[in-house]
Every structure is written in C-alpha cells, then in structure tokens.
A = this chain, B = another copy of it.
C-alpha cells in the first residue's frame, strides 16, 4: 500500500436542481485544474431563496486529492 499524501481544499458548488448536482458542479470546477480527486465530504448544505422559492441549492464540500506517492 502506498504512503500517499493528500491535500484537501474547500469549495462551494451551486445548482437550481439538487444538492447532488451542486456538489458535482464543485467537483467539475475543481477537476479543471486538479487531477486525482478522490473524496468530497459535505461540510454544509444550504439554499438561496428568491421570491419565496429555492433559487439555488448550495453544498460546501472538502475535496481531497493525491499530491505525492512513494
């Protein structure tokens, strides 16, 4: 088993549809510059409301990715 080192970054994704979709948007954005994304942990879920209705589902996530193997 490798003794990899991982780094963890925190992001907030949003979607008008669902929290699953909101986290996937955060992952997609992180994936533009980071390879080897491994786990996304949900830190917080909330919703932006406009005119009495949900405008955006938002998910704050911690994303981990490998930075070093040996």
Copies of this chain present: 12
Q: Which of A5, A44, A56, A68 has the most CB of B within 10 A?
A: A5
Q: Say yes or no: A18 contacts B15, CB within 8 Å.
A: no
Q: Say yes or no: A19 contacts B19, CB within 8 Å.
A: yes
Q: Which residues of B contact A10 (CB under 8 A)?
A: 7-10, 62
Q: Which of A15, A46, A56 has the most CB of B within 10 A?
A: A46
Interface of A, helix, strand, loop or mixed by DSSP: strand
Q: Say yes or no: A27 contacts B53, CB within 8 Å.
A: yes
Which A positions have Cβ atoms within 8 angstroms of B?
A: 1, 3-16, 18-20, 23-32, 35, 37-42, 44-50, 52-57, 60-64, 67-68
